[in-house]
Structure 1
Amino acid sequence: MDAWLVDLDEHAWSPAHRTGQGGTARATPEEDRRAAEFTCASTTRRFLRARLVVRQLLGERLAVSPAELRVAHTPDGKPFLPDHPHLHINWSRSERLLLLAAADTGPIGVDIERLRPVPAAMDALATIYPALPVTADPETFFPAWTLLEASVKATGLGLARGAKDVDLAFGPGGTVSLRGILGHGPSDAWFGRTEPLEACGALPAAVAAVVTRDRPPVSLNLLLGRDGPGRATAPQDEPAPFVLTL
């Protein structure tokens, strides 16, 4: 399994990406249509960068031209590669942060959320996950929410249909773990966890979650500066803020 954490505001960018010059990936007509619906310039820019970076990094992973890499979606919105069905992919974006993962071992789901105040957070969580213990600590909101999101993205069902299948365990100190996903194979066939992402320079604090089949080895690439793909670097003199340990 490979995972990339990308700062969309600092990642190397060129106008050639928009037009597909030089074999780079370009925005599809559908992506251009969706981008035109945003009213905020930064949201538009981050959306397009995320989609182009996904094809750029996956193209490098597969040794194919990003411009020729086709990314499709199931009716429920789960991304897949029609020409490379052996590679399972998933990504999540929260403002300037993009988390992308690819695995040869089976279905995968990821989610990342910037830490922020959420009105009536536990009420919202209980609506999606009725099995939420009444004693659950409010600090569990983001770990539980991201783990739910990553789980239903791994199964491809989405929150509305798939959240009821996810079996979470709520422990002391706001910890949340994945016990299994009902109806999707043995509970011990799924592995999931959350990780905090501490604020680092301009990067906001966040919580990330990953759910995979079994427990594959993972390679994490940090793309936080302007060095471009393959240069896993955090801002100078600052520690890498994210460590994914499966």
Structure 2
Amino acid sequence: MHDDTEAGRRGGGPLAVVAASAEVLRHPGVDERLLTDGERERAARFRQESTRQDFVAAHVLVRLCAAQLIGTTADGVTLAQSCPGCGKADHGKPYLPDHPGVHVSLSHTKGVVAAAAGHRAVGVDVERAERTGPHSEVMERVLTGAELRLVEKHADPQRAFLRQWVRKEALIKIGRITLDSMGAVDLSALPLETVDGVPLSSRFEDLHVLDWDDEKHEATAAVVSPDAPRVVGLTDLG
């Protein structure tokens, strides 16, 4: 077994990547055989083929990301999930049974997936903008008053809303907040704008928050961790 703690000291913070589902599924050496029987059973339950592919791509990408972090191959990474509420293994927080010192997170939306892997807790989320934009009742439910004012006066309210949304989803995945507390957590002090596509780094309490826009895929993403995350490309993953 790899010494994941030592690897973390050598390699720095968590890795995070966003890619199109189709690109992930075309990555060299990648196919659905990387998934466990349970994951394949879950994938088969999706009615739409595109949604099934997003699920598969996210579960493949997180293996690629973890493999790059610890210096192994994707077929050497087993992914499991566990729900602390009901105890079932077909949903819940993902983890690597064979590498307990490695933390992982994944996300998928329409045609785009994200993954992150690090040696301390990490959460990642990605979303694509909807043509209709966010509904006012949704914004009022998940944003504080200060956040809502920033979003409403922004030149691109939909992108500004997504910025806060993915941040809060990433915080949920790391266990810092819950769905019920999204609207009480204020991130209005964090900057909203990236410059020339460069990832935007900020802090929330003791956490590093890294935001970026993937213009190619019209997606907005965020990753949070106690360690400073690094954004990598799909081609950087073995």
TM-score by length of 1: 0.69
Paired residue for 1:112, among 123, 126, 131?
A: 126
| Whole-angstrom distance in 1 between the partners of 2:172 and 2:95 | 15
Paired residue type of 1:115? A
Paired residue for 2:233, among 219, 222, 226?
A: 222
Paired residue for 1:59, among 47, 64, 67?
A: 67
**Matches for 1:136-147 after TM superposition, within 5 Å:** 136-138=150-152, 139=157, 140-147=160-167
Report the alpha carbon displacement of residue 112 of structure 1 after superposing the two structures with TM.
0.8
Compared CA separation, residues 7 and 177, structure 1 to 2 (3 A): closer
| Whole-angstrom distance in 1 between the partners of 2:79 and 2:104 | 10
| Contact 1:125–1:132 (8 Å) recurs in 2 | no
Compared CA separation, residues 159 and 118, structure 1 to 2 (3 A): farther
- Which is bigger in relative contact order (C-alpha 8 A, separation at least 6)? 2
The answer to whether structure 1 residue 90 and structure 2 residue 105 are counterparts is yes
Compared CA separation, residues 50 and 173, structure 1 to 2 (3 A): closer
Which sits farther off after the overlay, 143-152 or 74-83?
Answer: 74-83
1:172-206 alpha-carbon deviations (Å, 9 max, x no partner): 877999764xxxxxx2x1121422221x3xxx311
Paired residue type of 2:16? A
Report the alpha carbon displacement of residue 153 of structure 1 after superposing the two structures with TM.
0.8
| Whole-angstrom distance in 2 between the partners of 1:108 and 1:165 | 21
Which sits farther off after the overlay, 72-81 or 86-95?
Answer: 72-81
| Whole-angstrom distance in 2 between the partners of 1:75 and 1:192 | 25
Compared CA separation, residues 115 and 66, structure 1 to 2 (3 A): same
The corresponding residue for 1:209 is 222
Report the alpha carbon displacement of residue 34 of structure 1 after superposing the two structures with TM.
2.0
Compared CA separation, residues 121 and 171, structure 1 to 2 (3 A): farther
Superposition CA RMSD, Å: 3.3
The answer to whether structure 1 residue 28 and structure 2 residue 42 are counterparts is no
Report the alpha carbon displacement of residue 211 of structure 1 after superposing the two structures with TM.
1.1
Higher helix proportion, which one? 2
| Percent identity of equivalent pairs | 26
The corresponding residue for 2:197 is none
Report the alpha carbon displacement of residue 43 of structure 1 after superposing the two structures with TM.
1.8
Report the alpha carbon displacement of residue 15 of structure 1 after superposing the two structures with TM.
9.5
| Contact 2:106–2:113 (8 Å) recurs in 1 | yes
Paired residue for 1:9, among 14, 17, 22?
A: 22
Aligned length: 206
1:7-34 alpha-carbon deviations (Å, 9 max, x no partner): 221232589833x3xxxx2x32322222
User: Structure 1, unaligned stretches of length 5 or more?
Assistant: 181-186, 231-246
| Contact 2:58–2:107 (8 Å) recurs in 1 | no
The corresponding residue for 2:212 is 195
Paired residue type of 1:209? A
Report the alpha carbon displacement of residue 57 of structure 1 after superposing the two structures with TM.
3.7
The corresponding residue for 2:57 is 49
| Contact 1:168–1:178 (8 Å) recurs in 2 | no
| Contact 1:137–1:174 (8 Å) recurs in 2 | no
The corresponding residue for 1:155 is 175
TM-score by length of 2: 0.71
